Amino acid sequence: MILIEKEEIYVRNAGGILKEYRLFTPGPIDIPDDVLKATARRCVYHREEKFKLLLEGIIGYLKVLLKCQNRIYVLTSSGTGAMEAAVTNILSSSDRAVVAVCGKFGERWLELCKTYHIAPTIIKADYGKSIDPEAIEMELKKGPGVLFTTLTETSTGALNDIKEFGKITKRYDSYLVVDGVAGLGADECFMEDYSVDVLIGASQKALMAPPGISFIALSERAQEKVAKSDLPKYYFNLNLYENFLKKGQTPFTPAITVLYGLKKGLETIMKIGIEENFLRHKKIAEYVRQRIKGMNYELLPEFPSNALTVIKMPQDLNSTEIIKRIKEEYGILFANGQGELKGKILRIGHMGNYSIKKLARAIDILEKFLKRR
């Protein structure tokens, strides 16, 4: 069990009064106190030995978490930065890209490819559905390519079968690129075991750190492909990161204090145990879903992630107003839907630093509020 003290976050309401609220959003998450304290350390210089030890420690923990034996590059960016790094480094202008979309973050892969003048083939599932592996197989039968997809689609709560995707891409001599930002640490996804070629993550979700750091892990064959990529890049040029990693450095000034927080978050996961941590997330997710079903509300995803729970709102209820009122009246913040789902769903984040006790109180408040409607 992770013990935390009360974290205070404030929002100014319409009357100008600052009110405290707590995060139950799917990232950023409620950060543990020991992680916050770690970020308050003095900066070290990023061209000397202490930083090398910090960076190597983080990469070492990530290799254990991801079961990755090859390269991991740490970036100072949001998860989207790591997504862009994946696109610009794994693809060349002549490559065939296939994007599997089941929500807003799958669509982000599509937008990134188009930005670099790559016209991808699209495999699409309805919001709330997971990608059908058969649809991927049918597409890759036509010819090898680079498949971009998500582990946990944060916009809908849907979990994709990455292990099955890996079998298919391997069978058809293709590459598998996975956005693991929301799922890593909450949903299982292992590089070698799942035949993943590129796996990206970020600090602010199940890894329990503040936003600002992302990372990209490569298989050996992906590393070889990256060395030959002809797409334009500068800040996210992984060949440059490779040269600096050999010295235990990053090519540009990193968010050093956030790195201290990420290291502390990863240390916590290692102390809990990787399998036990996955089990902890599963138990919490099951508890939340049982409570929501007990309130006679429907869940959106067919195959849900352990990182968050997504509730479908009845037609007579708008989640935008519900979220606003609960924040103002009870000091608890849930997340709205994105794009076409705004106002139609309510998302409860429970990856990282959450317990059943903490979530029970939040859901009690949600239930109490909804009964008044």
Q: Which residues are annotated as a binding site for substrate?
A: 347
User: How far is it, in rounded angstroms, from Cα 290 to Cα 283?
Assistant: 11
Reference 147, options 79, 101, 202, 80; nearest CA is 101
Q: Which residues are annotated as a binding site?
A: 347
Output the CA torsion sign for 366, 369, 371, 373: negative
User: How far is it, in rounded angstroms, from Cα 271 to Cα 141?
Assistant: 43
**The two three-digit tokens of residue 343, written as one number:** 């106002």
Contact assessment for residue 264 and residue 38, using Cβ atoms and an 8 Å cutoff = yes
Q: Determine the Cα angle at 319 with ends 318 and 324, to 5°.
A: 110
Long-range contacts of 54-59 (CB under 8 A, 24+ apart): 54/256, 54/259, 54/260, 54/263, 55/248, 55/249, 55/250, 55/254, 55/259, 56/248, 57/263, 58/259, 58/262, 58/263, 58/266
